[in-house]
Structure 1
Amino acid sequence: MSGARTPVGPTERGAAKQTVTISFAGFNRAWAAWIGDRLERRGHRVVYQRWDSPAEEPLVDLLRDLMLAQGRILIIVSEWYFQLGPRTHDEWNSALREVIAPDPTRFAAVSVTTVPVPTATTVLGAVELNNMGADEAERRVLDRLDLPADPLPESAEGTRRGPRFPAAMPEVWGGVPRRNTRFTGREPLLNDAYHLLQGAESGAGVVTLHGMSGVGKTQLAAEYVYRFGSEYDVVWWVNAEKRVTYRRRLAELAPQLGLSTGAEYGERLRAVRDSLRRGDPYARWLLILDGADEPDQIYDLVPTGPGHVLITSRNPEWSEHNSKLLEVPVYDRDESVAFIRRRAPRLSEPEADQLAEALEDLPLLLDQTAGWLNDSDLSVQEYIALLEGGIDQDVVKISADFPVAFQTAWSILLNKLRDTVPESVDLLRLCTFFAPGFIPVRLLKEMPHDELPEQIAGLLNDPLLWNKAINQLRQYSVVRLESHETATDEITSSGESLYLHRMVHQIVRKDMPDEDRAEFIEVVRRALAAADPRRPTDTRLWTGYAEIVPHLKHADVLQSKDPAVQSLVFNCLRYMYISGEYRAGIKLGERALKAWRKLLGENHPRIWELTHHYANLLRAVGDYQRTETIERAAVDHLREQRGEHDLDYSRAVGGLAADLRGLARYDEALELSQQLLVTYRGLLGEQDSRTQGAQNNLAVSLRLLGRYGEALNADRQTMEARRLLLRARHPWTLNSENSYATDLRLLGRYTEATSIQTKNVRENRIVMGEDRPQTLDAEHNLALCRYRTGDRAAAGPMLARVLERCERVLGEADPQTLRFATSTSCFAREHGDIDQARELGESVVARYEVMLAEGHPYIAGVRANHALVLRSVGERDHAHVLIEQSLADMTEAVGERHPWTLGCAINAAALRNLVGDPEGAAELSKQAVARATEALGRTHPLTLSARVALAADLRALRDRQQAEKVEQEALSDLAATLGEQHVHTISARSRNRPYWDFEPQST
């Protein structure tokens, strides 16, 4: 060997540190990164050279250019290296012989494939790296490069954490689609995504791949995972098209991370997000959110932390939610040509270019068309003639997302499917009556097959025909198998879980003949009805409803007269109400009323049942005036048509009473509740669930009227009866238990209330789930119980957490959110941030003013709370005017002896003192003490607060003797009632004037 070549020839073992250029196909980037890392740890210089092979450049010239690289050239041999271009094996053999054979010492190689490669690659002397561990692979690489393989010192191994050995999977791996062995191009996008994520600060590593339907966003994300996944400890793929699916799939990560949680997915979801945020037990995680087209639905659930999030979406609005955007365009023409020739090897390069031009370089369409065209005798020119109008002269764009040619291309493809396996077209058309995306086709196989159309029954009953249809659709990339952690290989291979692209879904559905449409949609409706768990109050069955609900619209169930399908609609509405999916339920209810009035007539019995469910959902979001109009019309009609002993009439009366409670017409609501309870007892007896429900609602009316003792008795009876009739952990039983604890708290029996409510929260979490409205309500009650017992350290964080979750689940303007925000504002005023208290309080006042009519006690109450905030920031005159107005409004709304009015009076007396009216303050305090003693008793906490306040007002008038007497008696009763060391007792002893916080109640 000549001296000039020596520096770049093989090294002697132990020689100086070397330069190695690694040449690799992008597909094998993970191997290049690992090998380079092992060399750099030993002090060698590494240059990375991603191999590209543009078809227009001679392969010989490309290889000669490669020889200009520094040092030894290490080629990572795989089929990908030789397929780029694409090039034939003959081309490669010729080029290898001409360029590399004369001077093979410049090159070394490792093989990471078991697929045949050009025979002339033997000149590279590749060593095998398959089917071995990392240590042996490293030894072989070093040996092939003639570098010493001495063990590294520990200091060199521990300096940094390098890429994982590519043959080793990440510690946690789930849901990732199979690798697309025909993936082509996209190198700049893959590199840009990698650098954006790697360069992001902790908590901000979010990148969204966005673009129109069919450009290959999902395939690009999957390829990213396979190229860079070895750098992560956790790789988790999530279908993010719907919030409920996203939540459940992310929650399934909990056991994979080794997190100790209960079985309920809400609890698991919170644990997963916390684990990812902390990076414990894994800091290097990658989460892929596929199909996240509605950022508003899930942006609040995107984890933050040291890991990375990769999103695919048609929606560029992710830029508003802490995400970098990468637009995924259609293929560049050279990418299109390379892809088509890989997909359809029989086509020449010019033919591939013509086809790409005709199909506008859209990857999904290229994939499907080239797949079947390769098996067809049709020439590209003939196919393009068809696209240009040979089949359908009226081709139009059906969506801004779709190229003009797409519908015609689909007509051709459907004809091909129909000619080969006609059942595949039947299956595909059935799928379009589910929502696009994940298609639960197992529901078709699980339904009763009696009375099905002949061709559908044959498809569903014959496993061989089923698999043949599935495989035909897969062959042409019409559907893909959806990977699920819970699915076995057997289930997945039989096509139980399919993914249908939104674009394909829309085209196939539009293309369908009317007679097939009518037949197939009925099959899917019956499949959904057969899948109905039929018990929407059983939380254990909610996963079934969560799976069904997204498909109701696409199956157009509201046009069905089938009683089973209509019962499914009712059960879904009930599920949505109990689980807190109010907004979605309202939309379904509105559509159902409009459709069924036309389908069934204005006064059909099912219309009144539908009205009941719809009004429940509207009432849940605080639309009381609208629900009162709806329920009153139902009451009047049913009374006239069926009489007052009809059960549908009684149910409508119960709904009207609830509306009246929302409108603060408490006396009217109480009267209706009392009448209804008598009616149910007479018609159904004491042990019927409807009787118990009426008794529960009677207690709600009593509580709103401030008659806490009577409410307690009614709630106790309901709770005990429900434990006997239902079960201890039934949602309704738990609701009664929560109400009972609330009554105890409002009566000042704080220790008892806290004990019961602690258990109630634990069981609600198990039964209902972490973020359901009933669980949130129970946690809020427990926070207030702890606050009243003096455990402020526990109460504050609980109030903040439950408010944050309620805002996320139900929205900022929901009645439940406003109740929680009121409590949180009051706590912040006394024990936190006064600015936060003011901001939150003003927001609550504004939202109640929009939701409720002027004069409503809730508006008066939250204004009274806000007056205390103004007092705390020194705006005394403003505070005084506001509290006096609130007192007048509250008195007008609920009467002078209601606890809410008495609380306003206590606060108003304090403000009168501050603005220099001690006489007015003392007079108001005396009235409050007298009325509170009469209404609530001498030792109720509100009465005790009034007595302590009166002592302060008497001192302000210099009536020290009377003040001393009132104070000592109040302190004695406080110690006896709440305890010597209770915070209220200690505060009164320190002569801190008490204030009252208004707490809106559930109606």
Structure 2
Amino acid sequence: MPGTPVPRAEVPVRFDASVTLSFAGFNRAWAAWIADRLERRGVTVHHQRWAPPIEQPLEEALWDLTLSPGRVLVLLSDWYVQLGPRSHEEWDRAVREVVAPDPGRFAAVSITTLALPGAASVLDAVDLTGIGADEAERRLVARLGLPADPLPDRAARTAPRFPADVPEVWGGVPRRNIRFTGREELLPVVYETLQDAGAGAGVVTLHGMSGIGKTQLAAEYVYRFGSEYDVVWWVPADRRALYRQKLAELAPELGLSTGAEYGERLRAVRDALRRGDPHSRWLLILDGADEPDQIWDLVPTGPGHVLITSRNPEWSEHNSNLVEVPVYERDESVAFIRRRAPRLGPAEADRLAEALEDLPLLLDQTAGWLNDSDMSVEEYIELLGGGIDQDVVRVSGDFPLAFQTAWSILLNKLRDTVPESVDLLRLCSFFAPGSVPVRLLKAIPQDELPARLSGLMNDPLLWNKAIGQLRQYSVVRLESHDVITGDATSGESIYLHRMVHQIVRKGVPDGEQRESADVVRRALAAADPGRPSDTRLWPAYAEITPHLKWADTLGSTDPAVHSLVLNCLRYMYLSGEYRAGIKLGARAMDAWRELLGENHPRVWDLSYHYANLLRAVGDYAGTEAIERAAVDHLRAERGEQDLEYLRAAGGLAADLRGLGRYEEAHEMSEWILGAYRELLGEQDSRTLNAQNNLAISLRLLGGYEEALELNRRTLEARRQLLRHRHSWTLYSEINHATDLRLLGRYSEAVSLQTQSARVHTIVMGQDNPQTLRAQHNLALCLYRTGERGQAAELFTRVLERGERVLGETDPLTMMFAASQSFFAREHADIDQARALSEKVVSGYADMLGEEHPYVSGTRANHALILRNMGERDQAHHLLEEALTEMGRAVGENHPWTLGCAINASALRNLVGDPESAATLMNAVVTRAIEVLGRAHPLTLSARIAHAADLRSLRDRRYADKVESEALDDLAKTLGAQHVHTVSARSRVRPYWDFEPQII
């Protein structure tokens, strides 16, 4: 029997320079460690994976081993001796015939605590279980008769880890499936593909249909090759928000010094993985990533590896290698069934595999309960066949099977043994498929539960028994391998496969559906943190929101459930999950209008949050209709001195700003602020929000000084009233820095925005829309101060993230593209500038209409690109048209109109009309001084341009005077060495860039 640390005296110890190591693939990590220890002592190791086909007699397989070079070292495990599976009697006969006559040819080590075949004692295996690496190495060396002298230490990171030692960081990995069978060709392919990939390219996607075993294959890869990594982290990736939450939880495990803020932890993790610090050998598993477009931008890069499971082969378009996972080969199916149901013979297993079409999930579940049943395989197949005519359910679009019949058999088995397991399973089907947070159910008071569920929820033994029964038949699995015993066997959450979820949900009786949905709704409502604006609570909302649909929260009349839905919508808006929020909001509007009535207060609440989400993606006309209906109703119902009316009016003002109706928006915003001050006082957060919105209206009208003062006061008040890291406080910092920049106070703007952008990334994450705004404004600030290298990097990065996270047609992304375009025009690639500019102009025209000032402004920018490319006449025509349209949209004295005029005068000169250019600039200078002051950067640009026009008319004396005065003011305002001052001194004509603003 195993366990003896040294060989018996009667067996001659024989030292060979080479050893053939025979091991089951399941034990690869042990084989790698043993081989390393032997090779360090000069032994040549030949690897021989032990996988004889079931039809080959064991005697023949063992004789084949004797043909291997050197001594044969057998790595004994229950997997090694049962592979196939084989009986102990078969093993005893084979060992007596092949090994016993020449025991010195064989040696063995044991890594199992289970009983081995009796004849295995002739192998005299030494036991390596339950001991440390040093003792295991001592026993191995002694068994082979190798010199035991200590060897020089080798760097620990270059040698395989002792298999009993887990990686330094290990989290979320499912328990190992001890019945894992087959896939021996796929696992090496995955390993070699990852190993051969270059730095930053180690990404492999296991793809195939539902129930094919992708997750099990990924878990087996972890256990076989995980010892080669220092970090192994398993992340559910079926939903973007949950993926980000689970990835952020890696931060403390890596020892990263971060605060509690979600965004800070996520940023720190991605940065640490990218740099490979503190660990360069990391493995990240993204399980269930079926929508690449949702998360591909969040897949870490760096020296480590990423393993993805997905039904979607489109991962190949996102720099991932694809490895297709097919159904089992028939011999794999038979081997798996016989391991799962030892009472079934090879022929029975073959017939069952054929009936279930070799799908691993069905094989696992069906064989599991057949082993405990008296039913024959023939009877079971007959039951399956009986329902095929009418009961076929297409659970997966690409895999039709008689699932309904198969599941009715399994559920009957569960109901007969532990009926509560069926109740729990059905209850779980009212959460979303995948991760089910069953712990939330425990928070419901007993007196609020249906009688059939009350006992289950409040009896830990019964609860654990029910979950244990579901696990036994592979209906669910526990989410984490760390959960072991006691109450914890219920787990924080369990995993319910989407196929299982679909068929169970379909079979819940109507009366029970309403009851179960109500229970889950109550659990979700009780879990609502209640503060969606607190970034520290976003992980909780990320966990809750996927389940709203499945629990039919929109069909509830419970006020607590209504609040939950509204808070989730608010979270989606603030966290940037716009499209998911819009889908939920649209469904909620339809459902609540029918359920509660068109004019129910909750419907108007909902319309506010829904409009916020639509406005975020640029649907200003749609949101105006929603908000105007709310304003009209609430004014008639409650009057104008009502908080709900004022909130709706504030939304309408934002819509007007989006539509370019700035005067109307300003008038409404001013009145709203006055009403809030009268009702709530100066320091209430709602008053400050109104003050913030008025400042935005003023800025859009060109009132930069007034906007600056209002935003300064708002920022100071929010810092006192809210946390310094509150999202609204940070938003005020962006606004204040923007005003400083637009007034030419560039150094102050850079100082404030640099710090704010850093804190945004820490608190809200680098891909949050507000963070992207902060970084974009920082890029503009740096550009205006002359830090073009830093600005270029930021412009590019922000645009790339905007396109990935928000989409190319999102208002923010188009704002970023406009900036990237005018920067590229002057300092990078004119072709890139033109391509971006064309997309921006057409995008704004489609979104906002031809008469919107953003269309005029971006056309003015595009004209400068055409000018630089030599298309002067077309540029001149386009710029004159933009100047006229801009004046019509915002007025002749608006800074945007004055900026367009500066550019138009330059084009008039180029096409041979210097008189008109000088006349235009003379008027522009006068208006700019009146509107912005003599020292504003736009006014200074106009004065420098005017001097150039005068020089074109050969009025050099006056031109020199205008230029000299402007240069003096430039030096005083921006500094003698500022890029604008230097450029003006070199008589490079200034141009103006239109910058779309947030609304």
Q: TM-score surpassing 0.5?
A: yes
- Spell out, residue by residue over 1:422-459, the C-alpha distance to the aligned partner (whole angstroms, 9 max, x if none): 22111111111110111011111123333221122222
1-side partners of 2:819 and 2:189: how far apart?
47
- Return the letter of the residue paired with 2:107: A
CA RMSD of aligned residues (A): 2.5
Structure 2 equivalent of residue 3 of structure 1: none
Counterparts in 2 of 1:610 and 1:969: CA distance versus 1, 3 Å: same
> What do residues 592-640 of structure 1 show as CA deviations (whole Å, max 9, x unaligned)?
1111222122222222222221111111111112222222233334444
Pair 1:685–1:152, CA change in 2 (3 A): closer
Q: 1: distance between equivalents of 2:164 and 2:641?
A: 74
Between stretches 642-651 and 625-634, larger displacement belongs to 642-651
User: How many angstroms apart in 2 are the aligned matches of 1:818 and 1:603?
Assistant: 36
- 8 Å CA contact 1:974–1:980 kept in 2: the answer is yes
Q: What per-residue deviation string (whole Å, max 9, x for no partner) do you get for residues 738-771 of structure 1?
A: 3223222212222333333344334434443433
Paired residue for 1:426? 423
Give the CA deviation at 1:796.
Answer: 2.8
Q: Does 1:412 align with 2:412?
A: no
1:787 aligns with 2:783: yes
The answer on 1:856 being equivalent to 2:852 is yes
Question: Which residue of 2 is the match for residue 270 of structure 1?
Answer: 267
SS of corresponding position for 1:287: strand
Out of 879, 884, 890, the position equivalent to 1:888 is: 884
Q: How far is the alpha carbon of 1:785 from its aligned partner?
A: 2.5
Query: Are residues 1:196 and 2:193 paired?
Result: yes
Alignment CA distance shift 1:975-1:395 (3 Å) = closer
Report deviation, 1:403: 4.8
Does residue 20 in structure 1 map to residue 19 in structure 2?
yes
Return the alpha-carbon distance in structure 2 between the equivalents of residues 827 and 338 of structure 1: 64
Question: Is 1:803–1:820's contact at 8 Å kept on the other side of the alignment?
Answer: yes
| 1:910 alignment counterpart | 906
Which protein, 1 or 2, shows the higher relative CO under an 8 Å CA cutoff with sep ≥ 6?
A: 2
Indicate how the Cα distance of structure 1 residues 490 and 893 shifts in structure 2: closer, same or farther if over 3 A, else same. farther
The percent of aligned pairs where both chains have the same amino acid is 73
Per-residue displacement from partner, 1:862-902 (whole Å, max 9, x unpaired)? 12222222333333333222222221221121111110011
- Verify the 8 A CA contact 1:470 1:495 in the aligned structure 2: no
Distance 2:64 2:100 in 1: 15
Paired residue secondary structure (2:286): strand
Q: Is the 8 A contact 1:359 1:403 kept in 2?
A: no
The correspondence for 2:365, drawn from 356, 368, 376, is 368
> Counterpart amino acid of 2:498?
R
Seen in structure 2, the aligned counterparts of structure 1 residues 142 and 768 have a Cα distance that, compared at 3 Å, is closer
Tell me the equivalent position of 1:627: 623
How far residue 966 of structure 1 moved from its aligned partner, in angstroms, is 0.8
**1:283 aligned residue:** 280
What stretches of structure 2 of length at least 5 have no aligned partner?
1-10
Q: CA deviation at 1:121?
A: 1.2
Contact 1:539–1:767 (CA<8 Å) still a contact in 2?
A: yes
Which stretch of the first structure deviates more once superposed, 355-364 or 685-694?
685-694
Offset at 1:1000? 0.8
Do residues 166 (structure 1) and 147 (structure 2) align?
A: no
- Assess if the C-alpha contact under 8 Å between 1:738 and 1:757 holds in 2: yes
Number of equivalent positions: 989
- 3-state SS in 1 of match to 2:22: strand
Q: How does 1:727-742 map to 2 (within 5 A)?
A: 727-742=723-738
Counterpart amino acid of residue 325 in structure 1: L
Given that 1:174 and 1:236 are in contact with CA atoms closer than 8 Å, whether structure 2 keeps it comes out as yes
Residue range with higher mean Cα deviation, 508-517 or 228-237: 228-237
User: Aligned with 1:553: secondary structure?
Assistant: coil
Matched, 1:981 2:980: no
1:539 aligns with 2:535: yes
Give the match's secondary structure for 1:839. helix
Question: If the length of structure 1 is used for normalisation, what is the TM-score?
Answer: 0.94
Deviation, 1:162, is 4.3
Contact 2:260 2:536 in 1 (8 A): no
Deviates more, 1:896-905 or 1:250-259: 250-259
Pairing of 1:598-677 with structure 2 (within 5 A): 598-677=594-673
Paired residues for 1:361-400 under 5 Å: 361-389=358-386, 394-400=391-397
Q: CA deviation at 1:482?
A: 0.5
- Is 1:562 aligned to 2:558, yes or no? yes
Could you give the per-residue CA deviations for residues 64-107 of structure 1, whole angstroms, max 9, x where no partner exists?
Answer: 22222222222111111100121111110111001111122222
C-alpha distance in 1 between matches for 2:170 and 2:788: 43
Q: Which residue of 1 aligns with 2:36?
A: 37
Alignment counterpart, residue 591 of structure 1, candidates 587, 590, 602: 587
Q: What pairs with 1:147-186 in structure 2 (closer than 5 Å)?
A: 147-149=146-148, 161-186=158-183
Structure 2 residue aligned with 1:6: none
Q: Which residue of 1 aligns with 2:112?
A: 113
Residues 76-115 of structure 1 aligned to structure 2 (within 5 Å): 76-115=75-114
User: What is the distance in 2 between the residues matched to 1:134 and 1:310?
Assistant: 29
Describe the SS at the equivalent of 1:326: strand
| Match of residue 328, structure 1, among 322, 325, 329 | 325
Secondary structure of 2:309's match? Answer: strand
| SS of corresponding position for 1:193 | helix
Shift of 1:860: 1.3
Question: Where does residue 348 of structure 1 map in the other structure?
Answer: 345
Of stretches 910-919 and 40-49 in structure 1, the one that deviates more from structure 2 is 40-49
Moved more, 404-413 or 21-30: 404-413
The answer on whether the counterparts of 1:467 and 1:495 sit within 8 Å (CA) in structure 2 is no
Partner Cα separation in structure 1 for residue 42 and residue 787 of structure 2: 60
Q: Distance in 2 between matches of 1:728 and 1:217?
A: 45
Q: Please, what TM-score do these two structures have when normalized by structure 2?
A: 0.94
Worse overlay, 712-721 or 889-898: 712-721
- Of 309, 313, 318, which residue of structure 1 is paired with 2:315? 318
Q: Residue 951 of structure 1 aligns with which residue?
A: 947
Please state whether the residue corresponding to 2:89 is helix, strand or coil: helix
Equivalence for 1:4: none
CA distance in 2, matches of 1:647, 1:980: 52
**Higher mean C-alpha deviation, range 958-967 or range 40-49:** 40-49
Match of 1:744 in 2: 740
Q: In 2, Cα distance between the equivalents of 1:564 and 1:67?
A: 73
Farther off after superposition, 685-694 or 227-236? 685-694
The offset of 1:549, in angstroms, is 0.5
Single out whichever of 771-780 and 539-548 deviates more from structure 2. 771-780
Determine which of 271, 274, 292 is the counterpart of 1:295. 292
Distance 1:200 1:757, change over 3 A: closer
Distance 1:726 1:873, change over 3 A: same
State the Cα deviation string for residues 3-42 of structure 1 (Å, max 9, x = none). Answer: xxxxxx98866x7xx3322211111122222333344455
- Determine the structure 1 residue equivalent to 2:526: 530
**Given the alignment of the two structures, is residue 997 of structure 1 paired with residue 997 of structure 2, yes or no?**
no
SS in 2 for 1:187: coil
**Structure 1: gaps spanning 5 or more residues:** 1-8
* Letter matched to residue 521 of structure 2: R
Tell me if 1:800 matches 2:796: yes
User: What is the CA distance between 1:140 and its match in structure 2?
Assistant: 3.9
| 2:646 partner amino acid | S
- In the TM superposition, residue 723 of structure 1 has moved relative to its aligned partner by 4.1
Larger deviation: 454-463 or 251-260? 251-260
Task: Check the 8 A contact 1:279/1:305 in 2, yes or no.
Answer: yes
Name which of structure 1's ranges 717-726 and 23-32 shifts more when overlaid on structure 2.
Answer: 717-726
The one-letter amino acid of 1:575's match is Y
* Partner secondary structure for residue 448 of structure 2: coil
Question: Residues of 2 paired with 1:178 and 1:402: CA distance?
Answer: 27
Secondary structure of the corresponding residue to residue 346 of structure 1: coil
Is the 1:929–1:946 contact (alpha carbons within 8 Å) kept by the matching residues of 2? yes
Aligned to 2:507: 511
Distance (whole Å) between structure 1 residues aligned to residue 22 and residue 484 of structure 2: 39
Moved more, 891-900 or 644-653: 644-653
Counterpart AA for 2:842: A
